[in-house]
């Protein structure tokens, strides 16, 4: 995809600090880390978001996550780790090429998370679950 920074990294036109690659995906260090060791896992093919990715590629990428998450956390000497994946501008996606963040975390690291949990209306939960099931054809 022309003008996609991550496609340029995959093509070797823009440098990156590579961790590993295989035929389907590439792992490299985030150039502007929000914590030390912040790492990105991307598919080599350009999918704008999780919603466009075939299940086979998603399964392949997901298969890397347990070992990769453990390695990123251990290499950083971190206490914890977030796996984060933003889909769409309103969700904080800046680069329109699917990527999964692995973010080492420490207690008191100041990153926090805005998570304004509220009590839910059980009828609304049931409606939402049904709407999701319908779209899944389940």
Q: Which residues are catalytic?
A: 99
Which lies closer to ligand 5GP via its Cβ, residue 51 or residue 94? 94
Look at residue 120 and give the partner it binds from ligand 5GP, Zn ion, none, a contact being a CB closer than 5 to 8 Å depending on partner kind: none
Q: Does 11 bind ligand 5GP (CB under 6 A)?
A: no
Two tokens, residue 55: 């299940």
Q: Which does 93 bind (CB under 5 to 8 A by kind): ligand 5GP, Zn ion, none?
A: ligand 5GP
CA distances from 83 to 8, 15, 43, 69, 138 (A): 24, 24, 16, 8, 27
Question: CA distances (Å), 33 to each of 26, 101, 104, 114, 125, in order?
Answer: 17, 10, 10, 19, 36
Ranges within 48-87 binding ligand 5GP (CB under 6 A): 86
Sheet arrangement for strand 18-21: 18-21, 25-29, 39-43, 100-105, 80-84
30 binds, among Zn ion, ligand 5GP, none (CB under 5 to 8 A by kind): ligand 5GP
Q: Note the residues at the interface with Zn ion (CB under 5 A).
A: 1, 4, 6-7, 46, 97
Under the binding rule (CB under 6 A), the answer on residue 116 touching ligand 5GP is no
Binding site for ligand 5GP (CB under 6 A): 5, 14, 16, 28, 30-32, 86, 92-95
């Amino acid at each position: 995809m022309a003008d996609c920074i991550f496609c340029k990294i995959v093509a070797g036109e823009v440098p990156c600090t590579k961790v590993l690659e295989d035929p389907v995906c590439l792992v490299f260090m985030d150039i502007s880390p929000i914590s030390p060791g912040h790492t990105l896992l991307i598919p080599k093919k350009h999918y704008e978001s999780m919603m466009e990715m075939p299940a086979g590629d998603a399964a392949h990428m997901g298969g890397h996550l347990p070992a990769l998450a453990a390695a990123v956390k251990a290499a950083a000497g971190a206490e914890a780790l977030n796996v984060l994946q933003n889909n769409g501008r309103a969700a904080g996606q800046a680069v329109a090429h699917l990527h999964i963040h692995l973010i080492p975390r420490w207690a008191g690291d100041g990153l926090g998370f805005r998570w304004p949990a509220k009590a839910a209306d059980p009828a609304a939960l049931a409606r939402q679950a049904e709407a999701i099931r319908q779209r899944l054809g389940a």
